[in-house]
Amino acid sequence: MARHKLTLKRKRLIAAVAAVGAVAGGLGIAAGANASESKKQPVVKIVVRSVLAPAATADVAPAVTYDTTLAPLGARVQVKEELRRDGGTRIELRLRDLVANRAYGAHVHTKPCGRLPADAGPHYQDQADPVQPSVDPEFANPDNEVWLDVNTNKDGSARAIATVDWRFRAGGARSVVLHEKSTATHEGHAGTAGARLACVNVPFK
C-alpha cells in the first residue's frame, strides 16, 4: 500500500513537472517572438536636445543662432539618429519656438558649429562630389545627403525625418544647420537653401 502511494505521488510529481515545462516552453516561444520582434526595431545611437545660444558662445554651446530674427535665442532643437537594422540611418529633427508658418531648409554638415556660419563646412555626402561647392543634382540630392527641410506651424514648431540607406563615415558628420529657405533641386543650385541661420552640434555615429 505504501509503495502504491509513493508511486502515485511520483506520477503526480512527474505530471506537475511536465506541466511546468509546458508553461516554460510557451513562455520561451513568446520570449523568442518578442526578441525577434525587437531585432526589427531601430537602435537609437544619439539624441541631442538644446536651445539656441548666441554665436559668440559656439565654443561651449551645443547649438547657436546666427540670425536671432529667423532663429530666435532660446528656440529649442532636438536631433535623433537611429541606425537601422537594414544598414540605413534615420535622422529626426524637431524644432520649437521658430517663426510661425515658415519654410526652413536643414541639412547634416561635416564640421562642428562655430562662431561663423561657414564653420560647419559643406553638406555631408555619402558619395562626395569631386567639385566643391557641390550644386550638381547627381550628388546634391536627398539620397546622397541628409535633407531635413521643415514648415513650421502656427506655434513655430516643426518636425522632419530623413531616412537614407547608408551610414555616416566615422567623424564625417558633426552638425545640423538650419537655412533660411527650402532646399533647391535644380542644376547649378541643387542643395542650396540660402543663408545659414543656426547650427546644432551632433556627434553622428
Q: pLDDT tens digit string along 130-181?
A: 999 999 999 999 999 999 999 999 999 999 999 999 999 999 999 999 999 9
Average pLDDT (123-132) is 97
The residue that leads in pLDDT, 203 or 25, is 203
- The pLDDT score that the predictor gives to residue 44 is 79
pLDDT digits (tens, 9 = 90+) for 15-64: 443 443 433 343 333 334 454 545 566 687 899 999 999 999 999 999 99
Average pLDDT (73-92) is 96
Q: Which of 36-45, 73-82, 180-189 has the lowest mean pLDDT?
A: 36-45
Question: Does the structure show a pLDDT above 70 at 8?
Answer: no
The CA distance from 120 to 112, in Å, is 5
Stated pTM of the model: 0.80
> What does the block give as the cell for 110?
561635416
- The pLDDT score that the predictor gives to residue 167 is 96
Question: Does the structure show a pLDDT above 70 at 106?
Answer: yes
Phi-psi category of residue 185: left, alpha or beta, with phi > 0 → left and psi -120 to 50 → alpha = alpha
CA atoms within 13 A on the CB side of 118: 1
- The pLDDT score that the predictor gives to residue 17 is 37
Q: How confident is the model at residue 13 (pLDDT cuts 50, 70, 90)?
A: very low
DSSP string spanning the chain?
-HHHHHHHHHHHHHHHHHHHHHHHHHHHHHHHHHHHHHHTSPEEEEEEEEE-EEGGGTTT-SEEES-TTTS-TT-EEEEEEEE-TTS-EEEEEEEESS-TT-EEEEEEESS---SSGGGG-SB--SS--SSSS---TTTSSTTTS-B--EE--TTS-EEEEEEESS-PPTTT--EEEEESSPPP-STTTTT--SSEEEEEE----
Cα dist from 15 to 7, 22, 24, 154, whole Å: 12, 11, 14, 67
Of residues 114, 86, 103, the one with CA closest to residue 147? 103
